[in-house]
Chains A and B, each alone.
Chain A
Amino acid sequence: MSTASTSHAVTRGLAAAIAAFRPDDLQPRVVHEAKRSLFNVLAVAIGATRHEGVEIIAGLASRHGGRSVVPIVGRSQRADAHYGALANGFAAHVDDYDDTHLATVIHPSAAAMATLLGMLAYTRPDGARALTAFALGCEVQLRIGVAISPAHYDDGWHITGTCGVFGAAAAAAWLLELDAERTTQALGIAASSLLGHREGFGSMVKAFHAGKAAANGILAALLAQRGFTAPPDALEGRHGFADVTSHAHRIAELDLDLHGDFELLRNTYKPYPCGIVAHPAIDAALGLSSRVRDRTHLIERIVVRCHPLVPELMGNPDPHDGLQARFSAIHGVAAGICDGTVGLTQFADERVTRDDVRTLRAKTELAPDAGLRRDEARIELLLRDGTKLEEHVSHARGSLERPLTDKELFAKAEALVEPILPGRTPALREAVARLADAPDTDALVAAVVPGATHAQ
């Protein structure tokens, strides 16, 4: 039910909490998770830097962009704040390999990281301020997301973009040291810059949402800094953000206490580069793989019992390229069984279209079961000779109950970073680990672009 108007000053309250926030206010646990999120998202963005969409944005940046001061991760080319934010946010999200806050399905780090790097055109934060801005950028998205979920996403909004704009505006405003009043204006301008629609899934537009959210947030903060005016109640007011984009919300109850628990502590990292709802099924497929990998031609039928969201979000039975395959749980399962591993290689166009997985996909069906949890799945595999194999996964790898360890995260990062920036993964880990004590962001930037790095 939508509350049309309220006396509770949500936008002003949030802006005041942001403006008053100090790096020392970040709890040690939050610092730790923010570093894991930043490390993960930078590795993912580096891994995607040669994607055609990044090439296109980088091309526009060199033809139409301004002063090139913002690093594009994984590339030697720099860009202006706008195109830099676009490129980095896009790269971070395009492989669907970035972090996920499960309760809202927001991928918070893409826009937050892109905002932080984009703002290097305007500010020179020390490491602690950089990490704090990143954490705030994530947290503001998640707090707002919690207040409008699940109706907002169910209605068709890509919540990573819509909430991303607010997180980006908050992080940019905080880096510019805007007061509460101007931070309120920045959030108000952000509310009128929201994007986008879930219709864009399966095209480059989906990842564009994360990059543009960052660019819009930066623009909102820069305008607010100079006195551009906006409504003071853009989040909670009548015909404001929550009222218009969520048929059921609790925006009046938005948690404004930034000294309390952070939603960011509930961030998760994907072991597989595709929609997260398919992950338990892929775990089950990998569990079965060693038993049938050498005789997949003998497989008669595969039934994937899964949460109903799997066919809803990942229901494509026969993807024609890598991008479509990211929305195909059936492909994830088939590739997992054939290859015994699921990484970027399994979502490359040439792997998706090969005969072995195509044949196996045709034998695989999704059987939605409302009795299963979202991080649970069961696969029943029938061989031609009548043999029946089963694999049950109660909690997917990378879920809240089974988070990726720091070691697993490093291994994931290595697989992404090494092909682009050989030998760089340890330097990236160190730069992120030491960020809170660093005098500037130079070591961090040096770790994500080609060229010499600082000594470890």
Chain B
Amino acid sequence: MLSDAVADFAAGPLTPSQKACDVARAMIAAAIDRAIAHSNSRPVAIALETVLTLETPPEASIFGRNERVSAQWAAFVNALAGQAAIVPAVLALAETAGLRNTRLIEAVIVGTEIDLRLTESVAPDHTDRGWDPAGTIAHVGAVLGAGRVLGLDAARMRHALGIAATQSAGLWAAFGTMTQTYHLAKAAADGVEAALLAHAGFTGPAAPIEGRRGFAALLAGRFRPEVVTDRLGTVFKLDQTAIESFPEHPGVRDVLARYALA
């Protein structure tokens, strides 16, 4: 079963290459950099103002700002600002749990690896139909990363995957509006929530990705499951990913230091 293979990979022992770790670290730095750069933008201000009305406990930081909110909503705002889903979801939960360095790199790797594979497996039908992978597939990547931070076992990881996959949303119609970046924010927050729910015993379906009424059937016409499972855990797509270099915002190093990643 494909969903089992994905859950086993996300929950199991991981032996990534140095290159994969470097890419993951660079992704973390880039997402923090963008989040700080956009921390005073209009959509971020609106999102943060909305989140603050809930008055959640101060579990995790909003990058570039002083406010602290629950992990779920920190992930929401940081994803909106950082234009990424997996990294903000992982960092928010890692901060809450006091996790640092390797565990966090691994979480970003498992989320990103499945995100990349799933994206390829449903291309081009998925986007042709009008779905935005930054909202849909990002839900899967975010929950696997979040679940890894929480240390979910394979069974709970599959439940978490099911709780998140059913929320895969994001329409091309939203392009050019603030809702476009909301897609990532929602994926990050829902990923954190799904991982927390599964951690506490909430259940999801057995085959959320490949099932007859599951993710692939509903959001793509043609689906190549072998792209997801082929040499999963031994060959990493991340190894073929270029590291983007950029002038880092001065605040990035401070944030990385908090996670022992500087």
A binds B: yes
**Hey, which bits of chain A sit against chain B, CB under 8 A?**
52-53, 56-57, 59-60, 64-67, 80-82, 121-122, 155-158, 161, 188-189, 191-205, 208-209, 212, 219, 222-223, 226-231, 233-234, 237-241, 243-244
- List B182-226 residues whose CB lies under 8 Å from chain A: 182-183, 186, 193, 196-197, 200-205, 207-208, 211-215, 217-218
Contact status of A197 and B208, CB under 8 A, knowing A64-B59, A82-B54, A228-B46:
yes
The residues of A that contact B218 with a CB separation of less than 8 Å are 155-157, 197
Task: Assess whether A202 is in contact with B205, with CB atoms less than 8 Å apart.
Answer: yes
| Contact indicator per residue, chain B 165-177, by CB within 8 Å of chain A (1) or not (0) | 1111111111001
Task: Assess whether B171 is in contact with A239, with CB atoms less than 8 Å apart.
Answer: yes
CA gap between A230 and B54 in the complex, in Å: 22
User: How many chain B residues touch the partner (CB < 8 A)?
Assistant: 57
Q: Would you list 20 pairs from A and B whose C-beta atoms are within 8 A, ordered by A residue? A: A52-B201, A56-B201, A65-B56, A67-B54, A156-B213, A188-B174, A197-B208, A199-B205, A199-B211, A205-B205, A208-B163, A219-B50, A223-B46, A223-B47, A228-B46, A229-B177, A239-B130, A239-B171, A239-B172, A241-B171
**Nearest CB in chain B: distance from A222 CB, A:** 5
The residues of A that contact B178 with a CB separation of less than 8 Å are 228-230
Contact status of A203 and B203, CB under 8 A, knowing A80-B56, A188-B174, A188-B177:
yes
The residues of B that contact A208 with a CB separation of less than 8 Å are 163, 166, 202
Considering the complex, give the chain B residue whose CB is closest to the CB of A158.
Answer: B166
The residues of A that contact B177 with a CB separation of less than 8 Å are 188, 229-231
**Nearest CB in chain B: distance from A101 CB, A:** 20
The residues of A that contact B244 with a CB separation of less than 8 Å are none
Contact status of A191 and B162, CB under 8 A, knowing A60-B196, A80-B54, A229-B179:
no
Instruction: Judge whether B133 is part of the interface by a CB distance below 8 angstroms.
Output: no
Task: Assess whether A66 is in contact with B174, with CB atoms less than 8 Å apart.
Answer: no
Task: Assess whether A192 is in contact with B171, with CB atoms less than 8 Å apart.
Answer: yes
**Nearest CB in chain A: distance from B21 CB, A:** 30
- List B220-237 residues whose CB lies under 8 Å from chain A: none
Contact status of A189 and B202, CB under 8 A, knowing A155-B218, A198-B213, A222-B50:
no
Task: Assess whether B54 is in contact with A66, with CB atoms less than 8 Å apart.
Answer: yes
Instruction: Judge whether B70 is part of the interface by a CB distance below 8 angstroms.
Output: yes
The residues of B that contact A223 with a CB separation of less than 8 Å are 46-47, 50, 182
- List B31-49 residues whose CB lies under 8 Å from chain A: 42-43, 46-47, 49
| List of 9 A-B pairs having minimum Cβ-Cβ separation, nearest first | A239-B130, A196-B166, A66-B54, A156-B213, A239-B172, A198-B213, A199-B214, A66-B56, A67-B55
**Nearest CB in chain B: distance from A138 CB, A:** 22
Q: Given known contacts A64-B70, A234-B173, what 14 new A-B pairs fall within 8 Å (CB)?
A: A65-B56, A67-B55, A156-B214, A156-B217, A188-B177, A193-B169, A204-B204, A205-B163, A209-B166, A230-B178, A240-B130, A240-B171, A243-B130, A244-B171
Instruction: Judge whether B57 is part of the interface by a CB distance below 8 angstroms.
Output: yes
CA gap between A400 and B70 in the complex, in Å: 46
The residues of B that contact A239 with a CB separation of less than 8 Å are 130, 171-173
**Nearest CB in chain B: distance from A146 CB, A:** 21
The residues of B that contact A80 with a CB separation of less than 8 Å are 54-56
